[in-house]
Chain A
């Protein structure tokens, strides 16, 4: 059994990054998400604090809103890899560049790892960059109301622990989806279905049936880790030379 060659896997990911630089949708997501989530939510809070003048958000209710906003980082972590991983794999299918790649001495596992890295890195960077901007600006606008710096805290730590697991799940699902479709947009739309359970959780938390507290986030992390492992093995089965060349549509 050949040992995993990380340099080859990295070469695949680095090549994808070069291609992503030419894809406006990828750039758009990478830049716009951190700015929108990182800046817009603090601005909303700032606005609500000022117009409320005692009737809106108070120091007591403020943390609940901030925790709810931070759940959007989980939804982002589920949605963005669908966009990026679709370019990575369906793009290769469209350009018919998988066969020459598979004829190199790389193992299927190395190619899959490279694709996973390229699918994960940019969404994660966007989520983490967005969270830094978000925490900094939130602290700035809420410090005078709360009297202390709300961020960083364990809740955000738990969110940022779950985010990569969700990203990974989304990437692995996209690998499976990409084997069945020949169109980037279809792969993206199907991949975004991975975000539905998190939207569902978000809505149930807003109506009080579920709480995104630290304990529940850790339980969620455990559940997603198990699903990640299952989906990883499913994607490994899908991502095999013979399967790709003879069965991928």
Chain B
């Protein structure tokens, strides 16, 4: 659904996005992670035909980003939640959505139905005639998401949807995005919240002007930090640790009753490790695979 090849944006001498090549499948939720200034918003703006690309190519569906003839078609098939909600605070929730519905040529009846559907789904129907300026941050964010969905777009770009929201409002917005995911909509999510990416996204890409890594959160964790197992024992002693090292494994963490061991394939390597522990007099209580948090992976990548 979204394809870019060597997509680049320069502002004078500053390269904001450098040779970005990525593919997002139809119905996929793709998380774009990166620190502030990494080029996430610039990428979204290019893909939404808001700013021009310097070089490279990008396609949304069958339409070419940067091709004048395709620009309107792309804008019709996408919905954008901008980093700042940008609502008309003097207008009611209903009027905000009705205004945007007009640009997508929805007839009055269709607009009414769509507004009612979205506001009810987001729990704002009772407040439909209240000025948006009086809403809480979470309510405004929900209304802005409804605005992005007014024309039922195939592709949804969400730029930092939970930034600056309190935990409760963040959860409401995240739950709503998960609902949208069920509808098999393609969602491109810009975020710097790793927890959010992990909970929502099928795949993530880590951007720091260049795309540094892509994959599922699990794949990234594995590829960058390797795999680890934690062996819980009745008691740990030097003999046990030495026995494990002797058969070629690295023990990365030792406590009174547990060991963290670096492995490449737990399925085939665990029996040998357990055998060595038993042989050294250890009593294994249980074994679990532990993954490093996406945050560790992210920091490792971003800090280079």
User: Taking the complex as formed, is A55 at the interface, i.e. its CB lies under 8 A from any CB of chain B?
Assistant: no
With beta carbons under 8 angstroms apart, the residue of A2, A95, A102, A242 that contacts B88 is: A95
User: Taking the complex as formed, is A104 at the interface, i.e. its CB lies under 8 A from any CB of chain B?
Assistant: yes
User: Taking the complex as formed, is B11 at the interface, i.e. its CB lies under 8 A from any CB of chain A?
Assistant: yes
8 A Cβ contacts from B140-173 to A: 144, 147-148
* Beta-carbon contact of A103 and B50 below 8 Å: yes
8 A Cβ contacts from B31-52 to A: 45, 48-52
Of all A-B residue pairs in the complex, the 4 with the closest CB atoms, nearest first, are A96-B84, A97-B86, A104-B103, A103-B80
A interface residues with partner B (beta carbon < 8 Å): 1-2, 7-8, 11, 15, 18-19, 22, 95-107, 241-242, 245-246
With beta carbons under 8 angstroms apart, the residue of B50, B76, B91, B95 that contacts A105 is: B76
8 A Cβ contacts from B203-258 to A: none
With beta carbons under 8 angstroms apart, the residue of A11, A99, A102, A246 that contacts B84 is: A99
What are the residues of chain B within 8 A of A242 when measuring CB–CB? 50-52
Q: How far is the CA of A96 from the CA of B87 in the complex (A)?
A: 8
Q: How many A-B residue pairs have CB under 8 A?
A: 73
Closest residue of chain B to A16 (Cβ to Cβ) is B88
Closest residue of chain A to B91 (Cβ to Cβ) is A18
What are the residues of chain B within 8 A of A246 when measuring CB–CB? 11, 51
What are the residues of chain A within 8 A of B294 when measuring CB–CB? none
Q: Do A103 and B48 form a contact, CB below 8 Å, given A2-B72, A18-B90?
A: yes
* Beta-carbon contact of A100 and B144 below 8 Å: yes
B152 to chain A, nearest CB (A): 14
B282 to chain A, nearest CB (A): 61
With beta carbons under 8 angstroms apart, the residue of B68, B78, B95 that contacts A103 is: B78
What are the residues of chain B within 8 A of A104 when measuring CB–CB? 75, 100, 103-104
* Beta-carbon contact of A19 and B91 below 8 Å: yes
A4 to chain B, nearest CB (A): 13
What are the residues of chain B within 8 A of A11 when measuring CB–CB? 99, 102-103
What are the residues of chain B within 8 A of A100 when measuring CB–CB? 80, 82, 86, 100, 144, 147-148
What are the residues of chain B within 8 A of A22 when measuring CB–CB? 90
* Beta-carbon contact of A245 and B88 below 8 Å: no
Q: How far is the CA of A130 from the CA of B90 in the complex (A)?
A: 28
Q: How far is the CA of A1 from the CA of B48 in the complex (A)?
A: 18
Q: How far is the CA of A63 from the CA of B104 in the complex (A)?
A: 55
Q: How far is the CA of A130 from the CA of B87 in the complex (A)?
A: 35
What are the residues of chain B within 8 A of A98 when measuring CB–CB? 86
8 A Cβ contacts from B1-59 to A: 11, 45, 48-52
* Beta-carbon contact of A105 and B86 below 8 Å: no
With beta carbons under 8 angstroms apart, the residue of A97, A105, A245 that contacts B75 is: A105
Q: How far is the CA of A103 from the CA of B89 in the complex (A)?
A: 19
Q: How far is the CA of A57 from the CA of B89 in the complex (A)?
A: 53
Q: How far is the CA of A99 from the CA of B85 in the complex (A)?
A: 9
* Beta-carbon contact of A105 and B104 below 8 Å: yes
8 A Cβ contacts from B150-202 to A: none
Q: How far is the CA of A77 from the CA of B82 in the complex (A)?
A: 37
What are the residues of chain B within 8 A of A107 when measuring CB–CB? 72
Q: How far is the CA of A18 from the CA of B68 in the complex (A)?
A: 33
What are the residues of chain B within 8 A of A245 when measuring CB–CB? 45, 50-51
With beta carbons under 8 angstroms apart, the residue of A99, A105, A241 that contacts B72 is: A105
A86 to chain B, nearest CB (A): 15
* Beta-carbon contact of A99 and B90 below 8 Å: no
Closest residue of chain A to B85 (Cβ to Cβ) is A96
B215 to chain A, nearest CB (A): 29
Q: How far is the CA of A1 from the CA of B72 in the complex (A)?
A: 10
What are the residues of chain B within 8 A of A2 when measuring CB–CB? 72
